[in-house]
C-alpha cells in the first residue's frame, strides 16, 4: 500500500491518518477544479463539527446531526440533511500555543470560533485530508465549498454508508 501526502507541487492523496481512521478516501488535486471527497465516519465528523455553527440548518436538523455524531443512529429524523459552508479557515499557533481559531463562512455570514471548538474543526479537517500550511508561528488549514449530505436512514443500516462530503481544499 502506498501512502502519499500533500506536496508543494499540489499533488496529494490519502494521508496515513485518513487511511487508518477512515478506511478509504478520494482526495483530488489541491490545485485543480475537482473537489475532494470523503465518506463514512470522516464525513459524519466533518458535518458534525460544522452543523452546530450553520445558520442554514433547522434546530431539528442540528439535533439530528448531533445525535448521529454522538453515536445514536436510532433518531426520529428521517430526511437527508445537507451541511454546507462556503469557506473554513483555521489557524493554530506553534509559538503562541494558546492560539486556536477558525472562521467559518456561510454566504455573507461569518462565525469565528476559538479554543476547543476551533481545535475540533482543525483536527477534523486534517482527518479529512485538508493540507496544513505554516507561516510565521502559525499553522493554517482551509477549505471552501463544503457540502456534506447526511442520510439518517442509510446510517441506521450500519453499513458504512450515509455520510458523504465534497470540498475544495486550500481555497
Of residues 12, 57, 16, the one with CA closest to residue 148: 57
Confirm whether 4 is domain-assigned: no
pLDDT of residue 24: 40
Confirm whether 96 is domain-assigned: yes
Confirm whether 11 is domain-assigned: no
pLDDT digits (tens, 9 = 90+) for 74-95: 999 999 999 999 999 999 999 9
Confirm whether 7 is domain-assigned: no
The pTM (predicted TM-score) of the whole model is: 0.80
Show the beta-strand stretches assigned E in 15-80.
36-39
Confirm whether 54 is domain-assigned: yes
CB 139 within 8 A of CB 117: no
The domain tally of the chain equals 1
pLDDT digits (tens, 9 = 90+) for 142-157: 999 999 999 999 999 9
**Domain of 56?**
16-169
Identify the sign of the CA torsion 128, 22, 25, 63. Answer: negative
Confidence of residue 17 (pLDDT cuts 50, 70, 90): very low
* CA–CA gap between residue 13 and residue 133 (Å, rounded): 16
Confirm whether 1 is domain-assigned: no
CB 80 within 8 A of CB 151: yes
Confidence of residue 6 (pLDDT cuts 50, 70, 90): very low
Amino acid at each position: 500500500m502506498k501512502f502519499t501526502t500533500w506536496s508543494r507541487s499540489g499533488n496529494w492523496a490519502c494521508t496515513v491518518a485518513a487511511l487508518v481512521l477512515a478506511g478509504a478516501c478520494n482526495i483530488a488535486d489541491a490545485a485543480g477544479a475537482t473537489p475532494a471527497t470523503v465518506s463514512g465516519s470522516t464525513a459524519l465528523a466533518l458535518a458534525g463539527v460544522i452543523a452546530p455553527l450553520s445558520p442554514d440548518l433547522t434546530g431539528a436538523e442540528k439535533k439530528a446531526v448531533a445525535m448521529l455524531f454522538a453515536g445514536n443512529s436510532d433518531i426520529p429524523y428521517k430526511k437527508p440533511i445537507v451541511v454546507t459552508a462556503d469557506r473554513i479557515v483555521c489557524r493554530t499557533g506553534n509559538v503562541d500555543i494558546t492560539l486556536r481559531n477558525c472562521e467559518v463562512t456561510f454566504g455573507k455570514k461569518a462565525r469565528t470560533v476559538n479554543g476547543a471548538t476551533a481545535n475540533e474543526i482543525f483536527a477534523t479537517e486534517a482527518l479529512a485530508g485538508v493540507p496544513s500550511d505554516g507561516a510565521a508561528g502559525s499553522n493554517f488549514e482551509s477549505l471552501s465549498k463544503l457540502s456534506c449530505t447526511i442520510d439518517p436512514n442509510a446510517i441506521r443500516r450500519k453499513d458504512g454508508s450515509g455520510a458523504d462530503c465534497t470540498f475544495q481544499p486550500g481555497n
